[in-house]
Amino acid sequence: MTRKKLSLDAGFCFHDRMSSSTASPAADRNRPPAANQVFASDNTAGICPEAWAALAEANRGRLPSYGNDEWTVRACDLLRSVFETDCDVFFVFNGTAANSLALASLCQSYHSVICHDYAHVETDECGAPEFFSNGTKILVATGPHGKLDPAEVERVILKRTDIHYPKPRVLSLTQSTEWGTVYTVDELKALTDLARRHGLAVHMDGARFANAATALAARGGCQPADFTWRAGVDVLCFGGTKNGMNTSEAVVFFNKPLAHEFDYRCKQAGQLASKMRFLSAQWVGMLQDGAWLRHAAHANQMAQKLAAALRTIPQVNILVEPEVNALFAGMPPKVAEALHARGWHFYNFIGAHGYRLMCSWDTRDADLDAFVADLKAACAKV
Ligand SMILES: Cc1ncc(COP(=O)(O)O)c(C=O)c1O
């Protein structure tokens, strides 16, 4: 993994940068560049208005704890209607816990999980899936643009079938992928059929499921059910946080027997919220009138706009055609350095000079314009 974490200038925020014109010119010259997190991650955005309003509404009176409240019932029902099926739903605080606990519920300790070599469960969860499953091994397969290649998956499944090898038990897919691409329904079915043929269950890491959902809907009216359970997915970790919520992810079991005692797993892992209504109410706020899709569509559209602007700059190349809210761009190291020096934070993700620019529900045209102006200025100097 080549991603480098940039040092964060604690204490500076985007508004420091925007308000710098009010400082005196001398003071301005002496200021360190203010940190601008707009394109660093979709985690740098705040809570969207719909989730915030739902939190305020839920913050009234006394309600039962640990999920025995009306908000949690409504949120689960809304998720069932989004997916057009009966399913078991659990809310946890973050994606690592959602993925790890979901995978643990599908595996014994002697099993293995097959995922892409760029999958978050492999690269960015600090071994949590292995930890929570008491030793289940992650096996990686490859495929272009962050998507698993079925032939590669089959090769990994069949690599060994003897007792000395951790038995493949789960195929884990990320939708949308870590490379900002989206599996089509046909691609999903090819992978889930393969998994079924070899007796594997299917887990979907949907940290950016909303972005994939709007992208797929825009292509031909395909519904969330079509690219989850109807396409062979057993359990989905549906991300709320990157879509505009605060610390709330839904683990959705379409294959209900696999959810057996999942509530105990959550409790033991410290993921059973006592004031659950504040996790679940946000889902009500987001799902009841489609805000989850509107925010994701906006983030996706901003990535498209950014790509269009970057295509006009000869020194920059688009590494992967953006399908959701992430844009991967190559640029000369000196240009990236100049942008970092101007305060723009973003991560190196692909190879030595492939950078990820992430858009969110709150990315504005003014953010794009300011970034592109600085990028053009930096390119003019190299
Ligand atoms: C693909 C993917 N899965 C899961 C997660 C969730 O991680 P966290 O535990 O930080 O919420 C992330 C966050 O970056 C992600 O990009």
8 domain residue, yes or no: no
- pLDDT > 90? residue 328: yes
User: CA 119, CA 122: separation in Å to the nearest integer?
Assistant: 5
Q: Span 183-197, mean pLDDT?
A: 98
User: What pLDDT score was predicted for residue 34?
Assistant: 57
Decide: 174 in ligand 1 pocket, CB within 6 A.
yes
288-321 pLDDT, tens digit per residue, is 999 999 999 999 999 999 999 999 999 999 999 9
User: What pLDDT score was predicted for residue 31?
Assistant: 52
User: What pLDDT score was predicted for residue 8?
Assistant: 28
The number of distinct structural domains making up the chain is 2
Q: What angle do CA 126, 131, 134 make, to 5 degrees?
A: 160
Q: How confident is the model at residue 221 (pLDDT cuts 50, 70, 90)?
A: confident
240 domain residue, yes or no: yes
Is 173 within 8 Å of 203 (Cβ atoms)?
A: yes
* pTM for this predicted structure: 0.91
More confident of the two residues 22 and 322: 322
Q: Considering the chain, what is the average pLDDT of its residues?
A: 92
Decide: 207 in ligand 1 pocket, CB within 6 A.
yes
- pLDDT > 50? residue 132: yes
Domain coverage including residue 327: 14-46+292-380
- pLDDT > 90? residue 28: no
Nearest ligand 1 atom to the CA of 41 is 14
Say whether both 225 and 316 belong to one domain: no
30 domain residue, yes or no: yes
Find the DSSP H helices in the chain: 14-18, 25-30, 49-58, 70-83, 95-106, 120-123, 128-132, 150-158, 185-197, 209-220, 262-268, 277-287, 291-311, 333-341, 365-380
**179 Cα: distance to centroid of ligand 1 (angstroms):** 13
User: What pLDDT score was predicted for residue 9?
Assistant: 28
Which CATH number characterizes residue 76's domain? 3.40.640.10
Q: Span 86-91, mean pLDDT?
A: 98
Decide: 95 in ligand 1 pocket, CB within 6 A.
yes
User: CA 44, CA 59: separation in Å to the nearest integer?
Assistant: 24
Say whether both 58 and 25 belong to one domain: no
Say whether both 330 and 185 belong to one domain: no
Mutate-to-test residue for ligand 1 from 43, 96, 147, highest number of ligand atoms within 8 A of CB: 96
Say whether both 250 and 144 belong to one domain: yes
Decide: 205 in ligand 1 pocket, CB within 6 A.
yes
Q: How confident is the model at residue 114 (pLDDT cuts 50, 70, 90)?
A: very high
